[in-house]
């Protein structure tokens, strides 16, 4: 039996669409999730690439569901465009496409930092780098914050017994959401903790021995990110409501 997700991604690859896997499927490959039904892709929103994407969607017999329509303008505004596949080998599979995301660098920079993994014979996938995936997950949705925590814990666990590079330690210090990991890092890398405090103020509490205060600071940081995401999406949400209203009236 053909894996519907592999079918969709292999069609993208064959069509030479410049996309980066993100969302739940990327989290699975990084060890932070166990299951995801959909495919989320970041796409380079330039005419020739979007034309290749259109051809890939046609091959998958995919059509747009809901709003907005599939246009460069909506993608560049930050909207997600949602497709549903009807091809027998990917029937029912939903594919969500985005071009720009809050707090995430432009696609060309993401492409340079991408991770490429071979998942089956003849199929290699380009993913958002783990740091970029974590940034993309900083949303107002409840499910994303436990995912960020698991992604960081999995990455930290993979490095157990190894000598990590400084950039990896910096990544953990900037993004880890587990008080115990931050406390361990403070013991081994006090200079880096001090160096990163300007970037992440809650690190000033790391090493003080008060886990409860550190956990409260982590929660406050999360709530601030959720609020920022809410404010970012509010005008986009209004645009979607206008589009839905226009569709119903039409």
pLDDT digits (tens, 9 = 90+) for 50-96: 999 999 999 999 999 989 999 999 999 999 999 999 999 999 999 99
Query: How far is CA 51 from its chain centroid?
Result: 24
Percent of the residues in the chain that have a pLDDT greater than 70, as a whole number: 97
pLDDT at residue 17 tops 60 = yes
Phi, psi (degrees; rounded to nearest 5) at 73? -60, -45
| Dihedral over Cα of 216, 221, 222, 227: its sign | positive
In angstroms, the CA 4 to CA 138 distance is 28
Domain formed by 4-135, architecture: 2-Layer Sandwich (3.30)
Query: pLDDT (tens digit, 9 = 90+) per residue, 96-116?
Result: 999 999 999 999 999 999 999
* Residue extents of the structural domains in the chain: 4-135, 144-230
The helix-helix angle for 144-158 and 179-188 (nearest 10°) equals 40
**How much is the pLDDT for 35?**
73
Q: What b-and-e string marks burial along 230-247, b requiring 16 or more CB atoms within 10 Å of the CB?
A: eebbeebeeebeebeeee
Give pTM, 2 decimals: 0.94
pLDDT at residue 2 tops 80 = no
């Amino acid at each position: 039996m053909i894996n519907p997700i592999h079918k969709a991604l292999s069609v993208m690859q064959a069509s030479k669409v410049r996309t980066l896997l993100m969302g739940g499927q990327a989290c699975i490959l990084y060890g932070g999730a166990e299951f995801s039904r959909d495919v989320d892709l970041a796409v380079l929103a330039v005419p020739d690439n979007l034309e290749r994407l259109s051809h890939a969607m046609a091959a998958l017999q995919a059509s747009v569901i809901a709003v907005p329509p599939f246009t460069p303008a909506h993608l560049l505004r930050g909207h997600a465009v949602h497709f549903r596949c009807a091809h027998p080998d990917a029937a029912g599979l939903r594919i969500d496409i985005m071009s720009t995301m809050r707090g995430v660098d432009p696609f060309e920079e993401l492409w340079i930092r991408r991770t490429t993994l071979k998942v089956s014979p003849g199929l290699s996938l380009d993913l958002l780098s783990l740091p970029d995936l974590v940034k993309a997950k900083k949303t107002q949705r409840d499910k994303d914050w436990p995912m960020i925590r698991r992604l960081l814990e999995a990455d930290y666990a993979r490095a157990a017994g190894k000598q990590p590079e400084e950039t990896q330690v910096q990544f953990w210090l900037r993004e880890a959401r587990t008080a115990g990991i931050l406390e361990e890092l403070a013991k081994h890398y006090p200079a880096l903790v001090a160096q990163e405090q300007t970037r992440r103020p809650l690190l000033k509490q790391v090493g003080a021995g008060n886990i409860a205060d550190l956990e409260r600071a982590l929660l406050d940081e999360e709530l601030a990110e959720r609020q920022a995401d809410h404010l970012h999406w509010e005008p986009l949400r209004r645009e979607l409501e206008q589009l839905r209203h226009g569709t119903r009236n039409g």
